[in-house]
Chains A and B, each alone.
Chain A
Amino acid sequence: MSTVHVVNRRDFLKTTGLAGSALILGVNVLPRRSEAGVLDDADFQPNVFIGIDEDGTITLTVHRQELGQGGRTACAMMLAEELEVAIDDVAIVQAVGDLKYGGQHTAGSTTVVTSWTPLRTAGAAAREMLIAAAATNWGVATSECRCERGEVIHGASGRRLVYGELASAAAVLPVPDSPELKRPEDYKIIGKPTRMIDVPAITSGAAIFGYDITVPGMLYASLERSPRVRGTIKSYDADAARAVDGVVDVVELEAGASGLNNNSIAVVAENSWAALEGRKALAAEWDSGPLPDETSAEYGVRLEEIASQPGRAAREEGDVDAALAAADRVIEAVYTGPYLAHSPMEPPVATARIENGVCDVWASAQAPMWARQEVAAAIGFSPADVTVHVPLVGGAFGRKSKPDSSVEAAMLAQKIGRPVRVAFTKEDDIRHGFYRAQNCQKYIGAIDGDGNVSGLLARSVFPAIGWQFSGVQEGPYGGALSQGFSNIPYRIPNLRLESGAVGSSLRIGWLRSVHTTFHAFGVNSFIDELAHATGRDPVAFHIELLGEPRILEPSNEDRANPYRFDTGRLSQVIEAAAEMGNWGRELPEGHGLGIAAQYSFRSYVAMVAHVSVDASGDLTVHEIHAAVDCGPVVNPLTVEAQMQGAVGIGLSFALHGKITVKDSVVEQSNYHDYPVVRLDEMPTVHSRFIQTEGLPAGIGEPGVPPAAPAVVNAIFAATGVRIRDLPIAGQNLR
């Protein structure tokens, strides 16, 4: 149970927007290990705040950002449910970046996971305190009172008091130790389809995203960055850039020690267009820097060589070498995937102002507390003098976890002495990313004389996230491998799962579902290959190999974490998806169904894809049937939207996504050479929820991993062509 505190409003920071509230409750969201360091529980203060004003306004500070995943709406729903108000009665204040929020990083599909207990507990505590205040006022027992639509009601007499009238009296009452949470069957809001609170502002054009922030006196900057990581400036024509109408200044920015930024030349101007035109005039040339040359085709060959040699065991059970030696048949396959860029619609952007010794940053940021630390370090300020504000974020998918644009904006504001917005172009976004790793997986399966899978030897090779921060190019280990590889749930008696180390000339980052994107592709493709090789139906084969339900301990998470990987839940979603997709039905020539299922980020998703390939080899993905078990669903509209979105991005990667490098420089630049799914390629997505009782899990990421293997397996069913290298585009399907 989370501890709820009454917050003294005299001590209250004005930035929370709650200073005027009569009753303020604070509650702790779970501390989590952050990228900027491990948080000390002893320092952990209340960090999500609920305010009730005397006029009845209810305000909730949300410590997670809205990236389109519906997190803010879910937070408001969880509070409103226990507080017995309508969701429209809750005003959201977006929290600024602060380490006290612990897991403020909006990533890992954790907003609902971390907020579920604290927010409901805080709402229930406020409800009980308001009831106590009303009961005292009326001289009746609290048990005779109830809350409804923002009022406390005395049932017997019909007397009513609105929350605003009770807030001041409630504020001096003790906070209940363990307020009683509502029973799920009494929910009026949780589990009910609820529209995202930001929709009206979005559709009218009034919504303000990071790219829309303006500050009085602000200048617009466009940065020419080193095309290679850690490259250095050779030459540029500052005069030519300054000669462009509207250009104010040309400034060099040095890469910091953090590894977040590359060396760059900033053109600062009166408007975006002048900054872009000035930048073109720079004609900058660069020295290569310390990293070796990398070219994608050669790099791919190297990954495959590493995958062909013994690696470092991440998990070993039985004796796979003996099983392979004794095998009746050995099935081998190698699966590869390229680097991927996030390419959200809104490129990275941040605006910074330094005035009177304090720095304010407005950024499309997933990790504003990290931005605050890095900005402070970059400009020599104390973090206490840096505030990072987060407007709406125009898509992120992991890219905006990195506070590089915030650091650049703050450094530039300090150098030029005026507020400045640093806006990436789409080309900057594609070329200066933190990419999903290029990868190679090798699977060797042993089939015994009875046609059963008796052994599996598998290797996963990819460059590790974060080498640019640690400087150490090794790994991948531990947590990275537990994303769909070292926790393979299939019961195979003899098993060895290994990793191989490789460096990279690109910066590697988190991209929606991270390493599960390729591990799910490898594992689900190979299971499908084994099914066909042994003459089994793929759906039945998944279920058979999963066997009796069992609990797999998460290997990279806190043992006290109540979330467990239950293989029975994976079997359930597979059966549900198969039923939804009418698995086994007769299909016309050239059509096929494919199955894939994955546990990731605490949720279970299975997808059945229906595809067709015509005589000329053109692929159509008709439908995706998605069965989801993320526990109790907070907002069905959000889960449905996330399934559609996961298919959209998963298909974009499966069909088209490919970032390549030549001499360590990214070759793609925009949506013409890094295409994504458009409306005519988008299949109809049908979703079904299997709401296993217990705790709700995240949904931002878990839909992505099964999309690509479901489609690839369906292509095999339709044509007999096995795709082992993504993307699919350009490959012969007939």
Chain B
Amino acid sequence: MATLLINGERREVNASPGMPLLWAIRDLLGLTGTKYACGLGICGSCTVHVDGEPVQSCQTPISAAEGKAVTTIEGLSADGTHPLQIAWQEINVPQCGYCQPGQLMSAAALLANNETPSDADIDAAMNGNICRCGTYQRIREAIHRAAGAASTDGGGR
């Protein structure tokens, strides 16, 4: 039995310590906003925050998250109104939407450390998150919007 602090709530999970946090969050705690896509930590869909840092939950054993504060997309804001969630809605970022919780969690970690990221900062912080629908241009725009700055060039480079 392990104890996890998820979105400010203490939750007990009955899992082997080697189980990745992703499956504990999804299968044992029923928080399905965090997505499985690659299982290798190379696509970013399972991104959550552990003590504020973005981590790939598919590569993080439960044991490594014990005693730390874990935030999932469900805990990013109480009512879906984090500035990034608002910007995502205003700019109509998602298409299929499957990767977007991971995109939002990576972007939130970026903005927490860097209030006005440049395009290069966004490249560096968001390159671990794959979107197959091709929403990248709007992701960039929405991060700039949430940061309170107009997009420098409307997208790419």
Residues from chain A with a CB closer than 8 A to the CB of B128 are 678
Residues from chain B with a CB closer than 8 A to the CB of A652 are 132
| B148 CB-CB contact with A under 8 Å | no
Contact indicator B156/A682 (Cβ below 8 Å): yes
Interface centre among B19, B33, B72, B134 (most CB of A within 10 A): B134
| B50 CB-CB contact with A under 8 Å | no
Given the interface pairs A204-B80, A395-B133, the reply to whether A344 lies near B96 with Cβ below 8 Å is yes
Contact indicator A644/B134 (Cβ below 8 Å): yes
Contact indicator B134/A622 (Cβ below 8 Å): no
Given the interface pairs A271-B27, A345-B132, A645-B133, the reply to whether A392 lies near B92 with Cβ below 8 Å is no
Contact of B134 among A208, A211, A649, A671 (CB under 8 A): A649
A712–B29 CA distance with the chains assembled, in angstroms: 48
Interface centre among B89, B96, B153, B155 (most CB of A within 10 A): B96
Given the interface pairs A206-B33, A677-B134, A682-B156, the reply to whether A271 lies near B97 with Cβ below 8 Å is no
Given the interface pairs A345-B35, A645-B133, the reply to whether A272 lies near B26 with Cβ below 8 Å is yes
CB distance from B156 to the nearest CB of A (A): 4
The secondary-structure label for the interface of chain B is loop
Interface centre among B72, B92, B157 (most CB of A within 10 A): B92
Contact indicator B38/A426 (Cβ below 8 Å): yes
Contact indicator B96/A394 (Cβ below 8 Å): yes
Enumerate A651-690 residues with CB–CB distance to B below 8 Å. Answer: 652, 670-672, 676-680, 682-685
Contact indicator B123/A679 (Cβ below 8 Å): yes
Q: How large is the interface on B (under 10, 10 to 19, 20 to 34, 35 or more residues)?
A: 35 or more
Enumerate A92-149 residues with CB–CB distance to B below 8 Å. Answer: none
A396–B133 CA distance with the chains assembled, in angstroms: 9
Contact of B28 among A271, A394, A425 (CB under 8 A): A271
Given the interface pairs A199-B88, A671-B42, the reply to whether A646 lies near B80 with Cβ below 8 Å is no
Residues from chain B with a CB closer than 8 A to the CB of A561 are none
Residues from chain A with a CB closer than 8 A to the CB of B30 are 214
Contact indicator B42/A672 (Cβ below 8 Å): yes
Q: How large is the interface on A (under 10, 10 to 19, 20 to 34, 35 or more residues)?
A: 35 or more
Residues from chain B with a CB closer than 8 A to the CB of A395 are 96, 98, 132-133
CB distance from A230 to the nearest CB of B (A): 27
CB distance from B106 to the nearest CB of A (A): 10
Contact indicator A684/B96 (Cβ below 8 Å): no
Residues from chain A with a CB closer than 8 A to the CB of B26 are 212, 272
16 interchain pairs (CB within 8 A)? Answer: A68-B98, A199-B97, A205-B74, A205-B76, A206-B74, A207-B97, A208-B32, A214-B32, A346-B96, A644-B137, A648-B134, A670-B38, A671-B43, A671-B130, A678-B127, A679-B136
Seen from chain B, the residues whose Cβ lies within 8 Å of a Cβ on chain A are: 15-16, 19-20, 23, 26-28, 30-40, 42-43, 45, 72-74, 76, 79-80, 85, 88-89, 92-101, 104, 122-123, 126-140, 153-157
